[in-house]
Amino acid sequence: MAQIQTNNVAWETMLDLAAYDGPRHVRLELAVRDAVATGRLPAGAVVPPSRLLATSLGVSRWVVTEVYGRLAAEGILDARTGSATRVAASVRATVPRAAAEPVAALRRPRYDLAPGVPDLRHAPRALWLRAMTETLADTPDAELFRLDGDVPAARAALAAYLSRSRFARADADAVVVTHGAADGMRRVARALRALGHTALLVEDPSWQRMRQVAAAEGLTSVPVPVDEQGVDVAALVEASVRTGARAALVTPAHQFPLGVPLSAERREALIAWARAGDGVVVEDDYDAEFRYDRRPIGALQAMAPDRVVLAGSLSKTASPALGLGWLVLPSWLRGTVRDAGAAAPSTLDQLTLARFLGSGGLDRHLRGARARYRRRREALLSALERDLPGCRVSGIAAGLHVVLDLPPGVRAADVVRAAEAHDLGLTDIRRYRVSPEAPAPERLVLGYGDLADPLVDEAVRLLARTVRDVGTAR
């Protein structure tokens, strides 16, 4: 444990390396990250020279310079020739110090290729803070006393945004503000259960969290296969007849995890099924805002607003920490969903959301995010072509992930385990299978949303080395 002071700025941060597991450089990195995350080491603070810190901690200077280099590459530290190394000015504490969990429990791999995580370094902090500050300044006192959770301004702003960005057929009365996509699914599943539904047709593979939420409300998942055109609607119709299921959960804009859109022919067939059998389609609008080669495909909901529930959130576009999402509901389902008893987001959060959307804050953030993700995706594909030329990469130019087919004889589960030794986080596509024991191609789902640009090439080199090592050992 060390307490350091420099000549200009006090480093009063206790670095307890014994609190973390792993080699010394890993423990030091976790300790510094913890200090920054909890605000004990604030933005702009000077960090000790590497030689001084190494002496104080009883470690080699290489350990300190390695950690400083990694954190500088991620934008956490600002290291400039001829100047002291500092915590980057853009960094802000993300966890209140009194409530902070040990970073060891929250730590993600250095080379994190897990899907579903946006670029947290570029979360729209300033835009959201401005919207909140203006909201607090302008909101009448009586509005701040609101207790019922219904904020018409938020519903109206969401209806306007979804109508122009997703071509949804939405008005304020159709919108419910939620705590996120999972909360929206919970409300819909509860309402469907109250209306007598017992089963939910789901894509296989698909995001497991939504299935888990539906199961907790009493809906049994019925798997439906997915191919290059999206969910197999013919198989869905057959499964509906066989099981009596009249509700389906789909991701038509960008299927997760296979990364394909639902074809126009299948969109029409899915709507025809819903109308013919008094069915309902829950459209998880996953990754819809991130299409890099053309304008995003419009929401399925626009084809049949009486049969489709549109569900979305700010988790991928902005940050999961905001905890805000929405539902656009058919008129016949609105009362049941609103009677489900779920708590609404706070009045202040909803008013801030209305300001954030109405002022164009989300649009400005998305313009920058699309450019970053497009460049990062291109860099990832280039690196994969160079280092793993025999491995097929699939998924349209959209979203925050791609799918990598592994060489014959190489098991994805073995690659995932072996990658841990390189501090490389990978995900086997079987994680998202409804029936993971069923035969399936050996594939990895590679996320690039929160991978720092300077780490892309190194991450792919480590991935290629791991694949070769596993293939050699088999």
How many structural domains is the chain composed of?
3
For 186-214, what is each residue's pLDDT tens digit?
999 999 999 999 999 999 999 999 999 99
Tens of pLDDT, residues 85-120: 888 877 766 554 444 444 444 567 889 999 988 998
Are 393 and 329 in a shared domain? no
Q: Which residues are bridge partners to 436 per DSSP?
A: none
Task: Using the 3D structure, point to which of 323, 347, 362 is the last residue of a domain.
Answer: 362
Tell me the mean pLDDT per 10 residues along the chain, length 474: 43 59 73 80 84 80 79 76 78 54 61 91 93 92 75 96 95 95 94 97 95 94 96 98 97 95 97 97 92 88 97 93 95 91 86 96 95 96 96 94 96 95 94 84 95 94 96 79
User: What does R_g of the chain's alpha carbons equal in angstroms?
Assistant: 24
Do both 311 and 322 map to the same domain?
A: yes
Sheet strands (E) in 101-179: 111-112, 175-178
Is 356 found in the same domain as 340? Answer: yes
Tracing tokens 């444990």 back to the chain, one arrives at 1
The answer to whether 23 and 421 are in contact (CB under 8 A) is no
Burial track 269-293 (b if 16+ CB lie within 10 A, e otherwise): bbbebbeeeebbbbbbbbbbbbbbe
Of 313, 334, 362, the residue at which a domain comes to its end is 362
**Of 336, 267, 271, residue with least CA distance to 306:** 271
117 falls within a domain: no
pTM over 0.85: no
What is the Cα 316 distance to its own chain's centre?
4
Cα dihedral across residues 327, 328, 333, 334: positive or negative: positive
Q: How far apart are CA 378 and CA 387, in angstroms?
A: 14
Does 410 reside within a domain? yes
Pairing relation of β-strands 325-328 and 308-313? antiparallel
The reply to whether 114 falls in a domain is: no
Specify whether 96 is located in the same domain as 134.
no
The reply to whether 297 and 336 lie within a common domain is yes
Q: Are residues 325 and 390 in the same domain?
A: no
